[in-house]
């Protein structure tokens, strides 16, 4: 066929203008596949071709978007922000650690009798505020992020990145700890009682991290929290402990302290830097 018949000028012109029927387009293209002579007569639009190649290349290679990401995009989170949060491997491990901790606590409680469960609930209230702080702290450092030296020397490696990452890990930890709190035996307010201490520890850690490294800041405040609780346990009766540490006056104190830490954090935010070693 290629020897006896070739695309004439009129047909080629119609093909280029896109006025041929689909069946004739297919016939012309089938012929051009086999006939180098006719193929070379079709002018190549490099801009169009490059553009199409780029779209195909990106569709093949770009990271897949999962249902959660689609949901967050619909909720208004910008694509680049989402990419930053979901692509950080260190955060995945932090989330995993948080999940394991919460599930472990829940499983332990389910195996205890009521008196043991009551004690475990108290332990939960003491440890739950530490969980978000621990997840933030483990999201950084050379062991958590092998690419730290690269990511830490990019323009984004400032306070905004630290805070976005902190929000991401704290958000997940808070949701999981809240669910565990609801499942635990005891009064319903247990599910929320630890939230303000957790907020204080998180903002306090981030404020302290403007002077110390984040893991050291987290360790310091986490240690102070547990030491303080231990000291209270030693001096008050068991039935007074939870109302004293998690009751309304204490909660107000946590809120005030968290606000103060947030103020310090705002004032000193420029000292946040993932790149520069402290």
Query: Where on the chain is the footprint of another protein (CB under 8 A)?
Result: 54, 57-58, 60-63, 78-80, 83-84, 87, 89, 145-158, 161, 270-271, 273, 275-277
Q: Which of 89, 104 has the CB closer to another protein?
A: 89
CB of 231 to another protein, least distance (A): 37
Q: How far is the CB of 204 from another protein (least distance, A)?
A: 21
Distances (CA, A) of 97 to 101, 131, 132, 221, 250: 6, 9, 10, 19, 29
CB of 156 to another protein, least distance (A): 4
Q: Are 81 and 164 in contact (CB under 8 A)?
A: yes
Q: 156 or 263: whose CB is closer to another protein?
A: 156
Length of the chain: 278
Using CA atoms, how far apart are residues 274 and 152, in angstroms rounded to an integer?
5
Closer to another protein by Cβ: residue 115 or 277: 277
Write down the least CB distance from residue 206 to another protein, Å.
16
Rounded distance between C-alpha atoms, residue 158 and residue 257, angstroms = 24
Q: Which residue is listed with tokens 């092998």?
A: 146
Side-chain-side CA neighbours of residue 11 (13 Å) = 15
**Of 109 and 162, CB closest to another protein:** 162
């Amino acid at each position: 066929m290629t020897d006896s018949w070739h695309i004439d000028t009129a047909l080629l012109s119609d093909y280029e203008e896109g006025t041929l029927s689909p069946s004739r387009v297919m016939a012309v293209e089938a012929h051009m596949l086999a006939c180098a002579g006719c193929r070379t007569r079709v002018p190549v639009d490099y801009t169009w071709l490059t553009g199409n190649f780029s779209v195909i290349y990106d569709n093949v290679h770009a990271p897949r978007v999962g249902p959660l990401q689609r949901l967050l995009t619909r909720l208004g989170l910008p694509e680049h922000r989402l990419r930053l949060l979901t692509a950080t491997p260190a955060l995945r491990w932090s989330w995993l650690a948080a999940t394991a901790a919460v599930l472990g606590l829940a499983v332990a409680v389910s195996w205890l009798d009521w008196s043991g469960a009551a004690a475990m609930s108290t332990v939960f209230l003491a440890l739950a505020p530490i969980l978000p702080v621990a997840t933030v702290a483990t999201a950084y450092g050379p062991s958590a992020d092998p690419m730290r030296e690269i990511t830490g020397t990019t323009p984004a490696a400032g306070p905004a990145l630290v805070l976005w990452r902190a929000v991401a890990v704290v958000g997940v930890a808070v949701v999981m700890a809240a669910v565990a709190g609801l499942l635990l035996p005891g009064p319903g307010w247990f599910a929320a009682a630890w939230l303000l201490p957790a907020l204080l520890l998180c903002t306090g850690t981030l404020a302290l991290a403007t002077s110390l490294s984040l893991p050291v800041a987290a360790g310091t405040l986490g240690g102070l929290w547990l030491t303080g609780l231990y000291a209270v346990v030693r001096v008050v009766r068991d039935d007074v402990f939870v109302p004293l540490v998690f009751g309304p006056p204490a909660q107000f104190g946590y809120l005030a302290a968290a606000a103060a830490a947030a103020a310090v954090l705002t004032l000193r935010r420029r000292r946040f830097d993932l790149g520069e070693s402290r």
